Structures are given as C-alpha cells and as structure tokens.
A = this chain, B = another copy of it.
Amino acid sequence: MKFGGTSVADIARIRVVAQHVKREVDAGHEVAVVVSAMSGKTNELVAWTRDASPMHDAREYDAVVASGEQVTAGLLAIALQHIGIDARSWQGWQIPIRTDNAHGAARITDIDGSELVRRFGLGQVAVIAGFQGLGPDNRIATLGRGGSDTSAVAIAAAVKADRCDIYTDVDGVYTTDPRIEPKARRLNRISFEEMLEMASLGAKVLQVRSVELAMVHKVRTFVRSSFEDPHAPGMGDFDNPPGTLICDEDEIVEQQVVTGIAYAKDEAQISLRRVSDRPGVAAGIFMPLAEANINVDMIVQNISEDGSRTDMTFTVPAGDLDKARLVLDQIQKDVGIDVVQSEGNMAKISVIGIGMRSHAGVAASAFKALADRGINIRAITTSEIKISILIDAAYTELAVRTLHSVYGLDKH
C-alpha cells in the first residue's frame, strides 16, 4: 500500500490511512506501507536547500529532503500502534534499499526484503519511508520527485507482493482528464504499456518510472483513492475494489481499440527548413540539444525532394524554447540549416490503445474528426500503440472531447 503526500497531509489524514491499513490487516493480508512526505513538506525542504545555495551538493540535498518521508513513516507507525496494529517504521538505510550513486535522482539497484518478510510472518506491518535509499557511499540517496511510487513498486517486487496498491487523490485512471471531458470513465484495467504512455503524457496519476518498473517486474499495480471511507462497501474486496488495475495485457480479456486520450500542453514546435540532408545531420542537431538538457519529444523528418535538403520538425517543452533557439543559433551554420522557425503554445494530443495494433484506420478516424472541427494538425507521430498529434494549444479541450467521442470512450 502506498500513500502520497495529500493522503498523509496531517495527523487526521494519517489516521484515515491507518484505517485503510487496518482493513487489509483484519482481512488477513500481510502489509507493507510506503509513504510520502506530508504534502508541502518536500517543497519546504527543497526551498531551504536552494536558499542555502543555488548550487547545492546533491548528497546534502538528499540528507535534507529525505527527512520528510522519515517523519511520515514514524507517525503512521504510531497511529497504527494506537489502533492495535503491530507496526514499525523503516528508513531506506535500515532495510536497506540500495541505490546507485546518482544523488537526487538515484535508481534502486537492490532491496533485501527478507527481514520485512520475516516480520510479516510475525504479524508486523512494515511502514517504509518512500523516495529514498542508501547509496554506495553509505549516504542517503533520493529517487527524484514522485519517487515514492517507484519505492512502492520496487518493495512490492522485492517481497513478491500479490499487488501494489497506490492510494492517491484520484480514484483510478480515466479514459481522459475528467476536468476536460465530464463523460470520461474510470478504466477497470489498463495494460502497463498503455499506462506508460498515459503517465508520460500528463495523466499524472503515477510516476513514469514506477510504471516501467512495474512492467519489468510484472507487479500488478492498483490505483485507488485514499479519500474514500476506508470501511465503505467494496473497499475491502481484494479481488475487485474500486479503482484501476495496471496489469499485463494478457489479463485484459476484452481489449478496447482505444483506451484513452492523453494531452500535454506547454509544448513548443521548432521547424528547421532546408537542412543539408547528409548522414549524421540528425545527431549534429540533437546531440547539442541533449547536452543542454533539453528534452526533445516528437521528431518528424520529411524525405527531401531532391535528396540534398530536408525539413525537420520537433517539439520541446515551451519553457526550454529560448534555450533551444540559442543552441540552434550556434550550430546553424555548421550543420547547414537554412531557416529556424519556432512557435510556442502548442499541445500534443495522444490516442492510446493496445488494440490499435490489430485495427486499421484508427489514425484516419482521428485526422478526419479533427478536420471536421476545423483543427489544424501541425505534426503527427505514431507508435504501435499511440498516435500523437500536435495542434494549437487553444484547441486542446475541443480536440480531447472530439477524440474521446470518436472512439466511443464516453459510452458505458
């Protein structure tokens, strides 16, 4: 069971979490709980490190910031003991959760779950501080923002859990953002691959890395709400509680063609006109951008008319546009780019579904529906299970609603 920052925002909320845990313990389950820092705490700690020095040592940042989860873990253990549940808190270094040395954005390398499992056998609940582990330098290493999801999935894999339940402030994964399309429906199941696309596209239910990890280790992951009454009907139904199961596609019997519509605003488009079309030119453009830490997303390159010059379009986060233009100005002559054009205020709309692998015409329906609404498509990229379309950001909501309806996602 994993509880995020808003779920443990204060002692009253931590007591509710304890009731969720009690429900599972009473049902006879062995439970490990991973917790985030109380909401707002991590931001406070991060601000202090920045205030102390803008160029702070990542190892010290980790020592400071990891304390937030340590506090929540201790408080939840106390709250559990208070209602008669045997529990103890664990910090990353105590288990230990081993990580690599990339302080501030470390990756988990190994978890020894044996002591946790032994104590499950004695009826003890493990309350684990998320977001952290022990680096090879014997110092605390944090996993990067949102890393508690990753902690939870990794612990679930280490103790061979039946399931990893992620309790959050939403009650599952929806076909699209319900704030944009009120007819959006909660999915009962979604495959790891689809969730990965949803997660990386602004459906901020789960951290992308945690989904990757769940996919690799086949950890069945369940997204559910911590804000419902812990003892409401159905909440204790282990096999079919309210929420969304992220699982292997084999477990999804009746696969829909399209599972969901995701979107990402704040994109910027850059077009390079009449670029010298020779081997290595793409590397000559994208290496300098990567070195400047600019995350390039959609890349579209047309075949050149005469084999000597080509056009190239790609997207970057809108906040990185100025930096990207500076990089391109520097390399423009050497690489041989005639003109650099750019535009902010773009949005990327994505149609996601494992079923589209075996269904033709999925992309064509999207293009037609958008055209019917007068929405201009700036660029298109596709993968096996995803079609992404770049449009003016002003049309985001209209496009999401249109596509949600085209693929019948608003019908029960």
Contact = CB atoms under 8 A, between A and B. Distances in A.
Interface of A: 11, 14-15, 45, 48-49, 51-53, 55-57, 59-64, 67-68, 70-71, 73-79, 81-82, 88-89, 91, 93-94, 138-140
Nearest to A66: B70
Contacts of A74: 49, 60-64
A11 B64 contact: no
A52 B64 contact: no
A81 B67 contact: no
Given A63-B91, A77-B60, A55 B70 contact: no
B78 A49 contact: yes
B138 A52 contact: no
Given A61-B74, A78-B53, A94 B139 contact: yes
Contacts of A67: 67-68, 70-71
Number of copies of this protein chain within its complex: 2
A127 to B, nearest CB: 9
Contacts of A45: 71
Most buried by B among A56, A62, A76: A56
A138 B94 contact: yes
Given A81-B57, A139-B94, A63 B73 contact: yes
A77 to B, nearest CB: 5
Q: Which 6 A-B pairs have the closest CB atoms?
A: A53-B82, A64-B74, A67-B67, A63-B74, A52-B78, A11-B51
Interface on chain A toward B: helix, strand, loop, or mixed SS? Answer: helix
A11 B48 contact: yes
Given A48-B11, A94-B138, A138-B94, A88 B75 contact: no
Nearest to A18: B52
Q: Which of A64, A67, A74, A91 has the most CB of B within 10 A?
A: A74
A72 to B, nearest CB: 9
A89 B65 CA distance: 13
Nearest to A77: B60
A75 B64 CA distance: 7
Contacts of A81: 53, 56-57, 60
Given A63-B70, A91-B63, A82 B52 contact: yes
A103 to B, nearest CB: 12
A52 B71 contact: no
A78 B94 contact: no
Given A57-B88, A60-B81, A63-B77, 7 more contacts: A52-B75, A57-B77, A59-B88, A60-B77, A61-B74, A64-B70, A94-B139
B64 A49 contact: no
Given A71-B67, A94-B139, A61 B49 contact: no
User: Which of A11, A14, A62 gathers most chain B CB within 10 Å?
Assistant: A11
Nearest to A69: B67
A79 B53 contact: yes
B48 A63 contact: no
Contacts of A48: 11, 71, 75
B60 A78 contact: yes
A11 B52 contact: yes
A63 to B, nearest CB: 4
A88 B56 CA distance: 12
Contacts of A59: 88
A331 to B, nearest CB: 34
A371 B64 CA distance: 58
A75 B57 contact: no
A165 to B, nearest CB: 22
Nearest to A75: B52
Contacts of A71: 45, 48, 64, 67
Contact of A61 (B60, B61, B63, B78): B78
A89 B63 CA distance: 8
